[in-house]
Amino acid sequence: MNVNRRRAPVGAHYGLREWLAQRITAVLLLLYLIVLAGALAIEGRHDYEGWAAIFTPQPMKLLSALAFAALCYHAWIGVRDVWMDYIHHTGLRLALLTLTVLWLLYCLAWCVQILWSV
C-alpha cells in the first residue's frame, strides 16, 4: 500500500488500543477465575459463612473490584463491536453506545457496593 508515512492518515491505530485492552482484560479475568476457584477449593465450608469469608479480606475485595472493572472494560469493547457491526442507524447506535457505558458504570458501582457491604 502506498501510504505517506510522515502523515498519519485519519484513523491510523484506531482500534488497536481497544483490541489490546480486550485481550489484557481477558487474561486478567482468567487469572481472577483461577484465584476465585482456588479460594473456593481452600475454603472448606459450603455455606454462607464460607462464601462470605472469601470476600471479607480487604485484598480480595480490591482484587474482585479490579476484576469487575476489567470485566466492564472488556464488555464495553465487545458490546461496542456488536453495536458497530449490526446497528447502522447513527442515532440508535449512539444511544445504545451511551446506554452501554452508563449501564456498565452503574454495574461497577453496584458491584463495589456489594463487595464492601460484607
C-alpha to C-alpha distance for 34 and 74, rounded to whole angstroms? 18
φ/ψ of residue 44, rounded to 5: -80, -30
Contact 43, 54 (CB under 8 A): yes
Cell of 75: 464488555
| 110 touches other proteins (CB under 8 A) | yes
Cell of 44: 472448606
- Residue from 27, 84, 102, 105 in contact with other proteins (CB under 8 A): 27
Q: Segment near other proteins (CB under 8 A), from 2-10, 36-44, 46-54, 90-98? A: 46-54
Q: How far is the CB of 70 from other proteins (least distance, A)?
A: 13
Give the binding site for other proteins (CB under 8 A): 23, 26-27, 30, 33, 47-49, 51-52, 55, 75, 78-79, 82, 107, 110-111, 114-115, 117-118
